[in-house]
Amino acid sequence: MQRFALIPTLLFAFAAVAPAQDPPKEPDKEIAAKIATLAECVGDRKLEREEEGLRLIDELLQKLQAGVNDKDRAAIAKALEGVFFNGKLRPTDRTQLYSGAAAALGYCGKDGAAALKKAYEKKRFPDKKDWVPLREQLLKNLGRCKDESTVKFLIEEARRQPEAALQAAAGEALGNFDDAKEEIRKEIVGQLLVRYGELAELASQMGSSNIEAQNAQDRLAALQDKWNTTLAKLTRQNFTKFREWQAWYNKNKGEAW
């Protein structure tokens, strides 16, 4: 099991350093073969081919990073989506294959975003405590796809998701839009600050019997660092408290960022 845990980490490490190349014009025959074998691994009811499946996902990610044409990218995204919905449902303590697929889908653009959002919204991975770690990965990698059509969805999760870890992950995911046009960046910042302010106000009302204030303080502890990082990426500023962000935003929201 320990080897399984390392592979998703390697996925991110390779993706961070692999050089971008011009995509080939012709389909890559190796991709079709790897996709077919991956489907066999996913369909193994005894779950004895998980490590092989992770290796194949890693190899497909390497193909993505080296450069593939649009047809191959769509085929890879479809195959990775199949990891979530085909075969036997993996137990919550054996979700390495799902995590690997989520990591690779983060480099599939719009196709990857559609697959990740679908996996997050479908009831196969319900909004329950045991599935929170996987659902965090789905949100974070959804942001890495940089698909602007998902911004409103991520904002909604960041503002209204009851689970603090998922609320934090959605806010973190929005930090991937630091190169988006100004209108989008300002919308994200404004919406995050609304919720940030609500929580900060509640948390400031601490008292021995104020449960709402304690809950707000706990939630802030879970998301504040990640949201501060996202706000810093989107604004090119660096503050650590809501009041500081609010003061800067009120002064500069009408200016060019």
Domain boundary among 145, 164, 196: 145
Look at the chain and report how many structural domains it folds into: 2
The pLDDT, as a whole number, for residue 27 is: 83
Residues 29 and 141 in one domain: yes
pLDDT at residue 3 in the model: 43
Do residues 118 and 161 share a domain? no
Cβ proximity of 219 and 199 under 8 Å: yes
Whether 218 contacts 146, CB under 8 Å = no
- Whether 225 and 137 map to the same domain: the answer is no
Supply the pLDDT for residue 26: 79
16 with 134, same domain: the answer is yes
Residue given tokens 């303590």 in the structure block: 93
Pick the last residue of a domain from 88, 120, 145: 145
The pLDDT value given to residue 5: 44
Query: Which parts of the chain have pLDDT scores under 50?
Result: 1-19
Tokens of 187: 């919308």
Asked whether the whole model's pTM tops 0.85, one would answer yes
Q: What is the pLDDT of residue 48?
A: 97
Instruction: Out of 104, 120, 145, pick the residue that ends a domain.
Output: 145
- Are 87 and 106 found together in one domain? yes
Domain that holds residue 96: 1-145
